[in-house]
Amino acid sequence: MKYFSGFCLKNDKAFFNDYLEESEFVVAGFSFGAQKALEYVLNTDKRVDKLQLLSPAFFYVNQKFIDVNINAFKKDKLSYIKTFLTKAGISEWKMENGKWKMDLNGIEIDYSCTEEELYEMFTFNWEKIKELKNIKIEVFLGEFDKIISLKKAQNFFKNYASVYYIKKANHFLRS
């Protein structure tokens, strides 16, 4: 399996073991990583049978929203990441060596994430999914996801994928 992590995250794959299918022909990604997974599938010459998108970063926002987020990220990256991930559903935090750490099964913050990636995440063109042929697509969405445009994502992906709606779950697909 090829897996792509969420925005500013690393080692998050194990967090989604309940949903992931371990096979050399499966590509998966969480949130921003779901965008990267789609790009990979569109551009690889390797065999892919299934694409699994976990809480795909699907946004339907205006330029003002994007600008506010980019500016907040530029002003205080560490606080932005903590606020973003808290809104996504992470509630266990500790400060260690001047950096926030999550107390979650080995998931780590990747402080090398950039404002360009944040902009890319907000402006990604999901219409590209229409180019996929003969690949099973699964999308997992949490009922209480406060990060993405949930209803718009559900309505969009139902045309291209099997959509699994996880009751009482947040962006991390946990209640």
| pLDDT tens for the chain, residues 1 to 175 | 999 999 999 989 988 999 999 999 999 999 999 999 999 999 999 999 999 999 999 999 999 999 999 999 999 998 898 889 889 987 766 666 766 665 566 678 888 999 999 999 999 999 999 999 999 999 999 999 999 999 999 999 999 999 999 999 999 998 8
Please give the pLDDT value at position 86.
86
In order of their start, the domains of the chain are 1-175 (3.40.50.1820)
One-letter amino acid for residue 50 of the chain:
K
Q: Which of 48, 2, 63, 62 is nearest to 29 (CA)?
A: 2
Q: How many CB atoms lie within 10 A of CB 169?
A: 18
The pLDDT assigned to 23 comes to: 94
Beta bridge partners of 29: 4, 53
Mention every residue, 6+ apart, whose C-beta is less than 8 A from residue 138.
Answer: 50, 51, 52, 53, 161, 162, 164
Give the whole-angstrom CA distance, residue 20 versus residue 36. 16
Q: Which residue matches tokens 């500016």?
A: 71
